Amino acid sequence: MHVHELAENTYRLFAALRDTRPLVHVVTNFVVMNQTANVLLALGASPMMSWAEDDAAYMSGVSDALCINTGTPVADRISVMKSLMSLAGDVEKPVVLDPVGAGAGPFRTDIARELCTLAPAKIIRGNPSEICALAADHLSTKGVDSGISPEQARAILTGHGRPDRNADDLPSGATALLESASALVVSGNTDMVLGQGKMVKIANGSQLMGAVTGTGCMLSAICAAFYAVAENGFDAAIASVAVTGIAGELAASRVTGPGFFLPHFIDSLYALREADIHQYLRAEVHSL
């Protein structure tokens, strides 16, 4: 695959998304609900943000994709997340799992592990620490958390990487994790999309996005919107990372701090043209 081909495919899915306006059901943390809904609207999708238990089965019947984000994991929400992922799995509805805080303590890690076993047609998106925590689980019978020091847990929670396991260690563990997913997205300075025996590195985006809350969560919701119109999770993930990175880069070029990043990001998504994708996409394709 050539970058030009990735760009073409990304735009094709972007146009399909705007055409079909998929209904994306997002159960996400309380910090980012508002911006997630606005980003989906700007992209051309329709958001639905409820996790009411009595609503879950009905909403699952009408939505086109599901995004589950385990931040602020209050107990009653976790059971709804499981139900929704099971229901989605039954009909092979596209799912995205954002395992916020996986690795930081047994509670979050166990939730993420359990959700990983549901809905095989899914993209898993996280920072390197979270993905490592889940990937390690596939490589070892030793509990993930037993090997995580408080210092490492802090790194997971702050999203500043784990000093002991950098992204270069990912592919081996990730290969195993890919058995329960159609694609992995590992967010970082360079984002990585893994799937179909390949690793695509996408170098768009901006350092500034680390100073804005919920940029990863937004990417996960965007992955769900693209997955609703894509043939498979791998293509959806590439398109999502490309579009998010390019819109993020354009937004960052228009601001001097994090305060105005989000409105510019939304406007960049809303106004994104085919030419922008071809001009800005920086991607490399590797074999796993």
CB of 76 to a second copy, least distance (A): 8
Of 49 and 176, the one with the shorter C-beta distance to a second copy is 49
Place of tokens 């360079």: 190
Cβ closer to a second copy: 57 or 139?
57
* Residue 254 labelled as part of a binding site: no
**Complex with a second copy: residue 178 or 222, whichever CB lies closer:** 222
Determine whether the annotation assigns residue 214 to a binding site.
yes
What's the closest the beta carbon of residue 269 comes to a second copy, in angstroms? 8
Q: Minimal CA–CA distance to 40: which of 221, 273, 212, 251?
A: 221
CB 129 within 8 A of CB 156: yes
State the burial class of residue 157 (Cβ atoms within 10 Å of its Cβ: 0-12, 13-18, 19+). middle
Q: How far is the CB of 29 from a second copy (least distance, A)?
A: 7
Q: Return the residue matching tokens 């094709």.
A: 12
Minimum distance, C-beta of residue 183 to a second copy, in the bound complex (Å) = 26
Q: Distance (Å, rounded) from C-alpha 276 to C-alpha 7?
A: 10
- Residue 9 or 36: the one with the smaller Cβ distance to a second copy is 36
Q: Is 187 annotated as a binding residue?
A: yes
Residue 151 CB, nearest distance to a second copy (Å)? Answer: 9
Note the residues at the interface with a second copy (CB under 8 A).
21, 23, 29-35, 37-38, 41-42, 46-55, 58-59, 61-62, 71-76, 101, 104-108, 150, 153-154, 157-160, 210-214, 255-260, 262-267, 270-271
Residue of 183, 277, 192 whose CA lies nearest to 230: 183
Q: How many Å apart are CA 97 and CA 43, to the nearest integer?
A: 20
Kindly tell me which of 57 and 288 has the beta carbon lying closer to a second copy. 57
Task: Note the helical H segments in 72-161.
Answer: 75-90, 106-116, 128-139, 150-158
Q: Are strands 122-126 and 283-287 parallel, antiparallel or unpaired?
A: unpaired
Q: What residues form the annotated binding site for substrate? A: 49, 214
Q: What residues form the annotated binding site? A: 49, 125, 187, 214
Q: What residues form the annotated binding site for ATP? A: 125, 187
